[in-house]
Amino acid sequence: MANGSVNKVILIGNLGRDPEIRYLPSGGAIAYLAVATSEKWRDKQTGENREKTEWHRVVLFGKLADIASGYLCKGSQVYIEGQLQTREWDDNGVKRYTTEVVVRIGGTLQMLGGASKSAGSQPAQQNPPPAQPQAQSSQPPMDFEDDIPFAPIGLMYPRHLINVV
């Protein structure tokens, strides 16, 4: 951190539509994602449950864009790490701006489960792994049914991590 500043955005959310893919004249791919994040709370005055959804424009480049186009679709849950950038352009004499989360080298796209193109519209079939013989041990088996005050180890959905190098 030579200059003493940080520009890092972390999002966990769901795609609001399929990725929009464009190609540069050089052949490089760019994917645009619309990622929704929501927060829920109870209004102290009325007691009603409230929810607010924010939409984030996420931009992926190169192979990461190709991967997103092949595996992500509307509803996919993703983990994104990138940088916040604001672009400016001229639209018939009117200056326009947009702020985006840009995932470049050092950024991350992680598919967290849920809807994906590879899953199709059919529910995923889960086959239990074959039983493996357990080694004999003098130690008693670990009891995972006790009251652990934090989340269980493991996830309901498989994770797929893609780092940009």
CA angle at residue 13 from 10 to 19, to 5 degrees? 100
Of 69-83, 107-121, 124-138, the range with the lowest mean pLDDT is: 124-138
Parse the chain into domains and list their residue ranges: 1-39+50-101
Provide the β-strand partners of residue 163.
Answer: 108
- Interval 142-164: pLDDT, tens: 444 444 444 444 444 455 566 66
Residue 56 above 80 pLDDT? yes
- Interval 67-101: pLDDT, tens: 899 999 999 999 999 999 999 999 999 999 999 99
Regarding the domain with residue range 1-39+50-101, which homologous superfamily does it belong to in the CATH classification? Nucleic acid-binding proteins (2.40.50.140)
Name which of 70, 45, 53, 60 is nearest 16 in CA terms. 53
Residue type, 86: T
What is the percentage of the chain residues whose pLDDT exceeds 90?
60
CB 93 within 8 A of CB 51: no
Instruction: Write down the residue that tokens 């039983």 correspond to.
Output: 131
Q: Which residue has the higher pLDDT, 106 or 119?
A: 106
Q: How far is CA 78 from CA 36, 82, 109, 131, 133, in A?
A: 10, 13, 7, 32, 37
CB 98 within 8 A of CB 86: yes
